[in-house]
Amino acid sequence: MRKTQNLRDLITEFNRERDFEPKMLEQKVFTLWRECLKAPFGTKTVPVSLSNGILKTYTEYPPFKNALSFYKQEIIANLNAALGETVLTDIRIEIRPGLKATPRDISHNPTAPKTPDTPHASNTHVPTPEELDQIEQTVAGVTDTELKTSLRQLFITQSKEKP
């Protein structure tokens, strides 16, 4: 338990020093999505990117797009409440026929639907196999699954910003 606490303290300090805390909070949206949305919406929609407070999601069902649009403000309020501060300002929903993926699949699968390549359009990055291996090696020692998922998402996002 003491080693885990020391690791947690080190990671917290590392994140604070490098100003990763806002990015980690943004990445938490992806893990909270299924928890905050009731079935079937949480399982039939996929959050794919978060940029400037706007969460982009995909669904393959037009009725789900309509329902999510109707409950958008409530969903935003619930997610922001779960995060403890205002991170989301809007949700954009796109229909992607044949979408059979989870949020994790979208961020790790090179064949997954991609957003247009416009500046600041997406914080989601499809890493190379080498980057994935390096990320997995980096987070291998982390036992807390929520922390491990958040770190993995953060490193994937940060790998996009490397020179």
Range of the domain at 62: 2-160
CATH number at residue 17: 3.30.300.180
- Whether a cis peptide bond, with omega within 30° of 0, leads into 40 is yes
pLDDT digit string (tens) for 120-158? Answer: 334 444 667 777 778 888 888 878 777 777 777 777 776
- The tokens for 6 are 């020391």
C-alpha span between 17 and 22 (Å, rounded): 12
Closest residue by Cα to residue 150 from 22, 49, 24, 58: 24
C-alpha span between 80 and 100 (Å, rounded): 27
Residues β-bridged to residue 45: 59
Q: Is the pTM of this model over 0.85?
A: no
Asked whether the CA dihedral 67, 86, 83, 11 is positive or negative, the reply is positive
What is the domain count for the chain? 1
Find the Cα–Cα–Cα–Cα dihedral 137, 23, 145, 55, rounded to 10°. -120
Q: Is 94 helix (H, G, I), strand (E, B) or coil?
A: strand
Q: What percent of the chain has pLDDT over 70?
A: 74
- The tokens for 161 are 């910003």
Q: CA distances (Å), 152 to each of 40, 86, 118, 135, in order? A: 26, 23, 24, 7
pLDDT digit string (tens) for 86-130? Answer: 999 999 999 988 766 444 433 433 333 343 333 333 444 466 777
- Give φ, ψ of 46 to 5 degrees: -130, 115
- The tokens for 44 are 């039939």
Task: List the Cα angle 105/48/77 in 5-degree steps.
Answer: 125
